[in-house]
């Protein structure tokens, strides 16, 4: 066996060992049963929606399904990618740590989303860490397999290109808004963004994510104290209703207006 292949096997073994070490015995009670890719409901809202059957069979045979608890790190900033991650269930944040140690939330990840593909395709290290916000089930697809099916399946390659293009567009919009919008508008926009990502609970008003004030501040890009003060103002104005970490949007039209977005 060639040395390069030996190192690949060692890296894969270390990755699998790390997955096991991240889960304590107490957390083993939360199980994420392996999901059949061809019957996965999230497949049809992901980049795999139009891929060839042979591609899905290959991925299904080699993927690794793992459960994660709230607060666990799926991958760390500045580490090397060994594959990509497909979210089957749960909620995840992608966070980047600044020179001052403060976190900035770059993206919120929902079921059906992929993680780690940009670093994998570019050959770079991860630019951010992936941290679980709510219990999650993640499917890992090894690098060699993903790159092989990407070269073979033109439709998957096209979907990945569209996803990268969307990422660039969102980054451009985010940079513009961060530079030009006041914090109050950015907070309103962040609440709408969370609502679009995860939707409402059954009452049709409460955002389906209990987010800490610190995480919300890290998403907006401001101090936690400022976020608390501005949330209090929105609560007083009847735009939102606060119940612990739960946020109910009581006046969606007004929130859109404050965010300075078109309805």
56-70 as b/e: b if 16+ CB within 10 A = bebbbeebbbbbbbe
pLDDT digits (tens, 9 = 90+) for 214-257: 999 999 999 999 999 999 999 999 999 999 999 999 999 999 99
pLDDT of residue 32: 53
For residue 12, is pLDDT > 80?
A: no
Q: Which residue has the higher pLDDT, 6 or 71?
A: 71
Tokens 């679980």: give the residue.
132
Domain 180-258 -> CATH class: mainly alpha
pLDDT of residue 188: 96
- What is the structure's pLDDT at 20? 37
Q: Which residue(s) pair with 202 in the sheet?
A: none
259 confidence band (pLDDT: 50, 70, 90)? very high
Who has greater pLDDT, 16 or 105? 105
Residue boundaries of the structural domains of the chain: 3-169, 180-258
pTM of the model: 0.80
pLDDT band at 174 (very low <50, low <70, confident <90, very high): confident
What angle do helix axes 53-62 and 143-152 make, rounded to 10 degrees?
180
Stated as kind and residue range, the H or E segment containing 145 is: helix 143-152
In the structure encoding, which two tokens stand for residue 122, read together?
A: 């570019």
pLDDT score for 171: 82
- Bridge-partner residues for 67, per DSSP? 137
CA 157/CA 134 separation, integer angstroms: 30
pLDDT tens-place string over residues 103-162: 899 999 999 999 999 999 999 999 999 999 999 999 999 999 999 988 888 888 888 898
Which CATH number does the domain 3-169 belong to among 2.60.120.10, 1.10.3720.10, 3.40.50.300, 3.40.50.720? Answer: 2.60.120.10
Per DSSP, the three-state class of 212 is coil
């Amino acid at each position: 066996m060639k040395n390069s292949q030996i190192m690949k096997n060692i890296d894969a073994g270390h990755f699998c060992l790390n997955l096991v070490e991240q889960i304590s015995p107490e957390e083993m009670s939360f199980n994420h049963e392996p999901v059949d890719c061809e019957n996965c409901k999230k497949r049809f809202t992901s980049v795999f929606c139009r891929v060839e059957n042979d591609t899905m069979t290959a991925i299904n045979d080699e993927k690794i399904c793992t459960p994660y608890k709230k607060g666990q790190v799926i991958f760390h900033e500045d580490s090397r990618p060994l594959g990509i991650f497909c979210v089957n269930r749960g909620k995840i944040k992608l966070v980047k740590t600044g020179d001052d140690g403060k976190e900035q939330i770059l993206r919120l990840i929902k079921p059906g989303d992929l993680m780690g593909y940009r670093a994998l395709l570019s050959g770079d290290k991860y630019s951010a860490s992936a941290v679980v916000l709510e219990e999650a089930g993640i499917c890992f697809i090894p690098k060699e397999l993903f790159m092989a099916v990407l070269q073979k399946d033109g439709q998957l390659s096209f979907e990945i290109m569209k996803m990268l293009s969307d990422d660039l567009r969102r980054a451009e919009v985010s940079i513009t808004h961060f530079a030009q919008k006041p914090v109050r508008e950015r907070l309103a926009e962040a609440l709408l963004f969370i609502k679009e990502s995860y939707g409402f609970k059954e009452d049709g008003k409460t955002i389906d994510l209990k987010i800490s004030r610190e995480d919300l501040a890290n998403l907006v890009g401001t101090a936690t104290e400022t976020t608390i003060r501005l949330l209090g103002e929105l609560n007083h104005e009847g735009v939102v209703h606060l119940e612990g970490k739960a946020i109910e949007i009581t006046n969606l039209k007004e929130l859109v207006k404050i965010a300075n977005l078109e309805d």
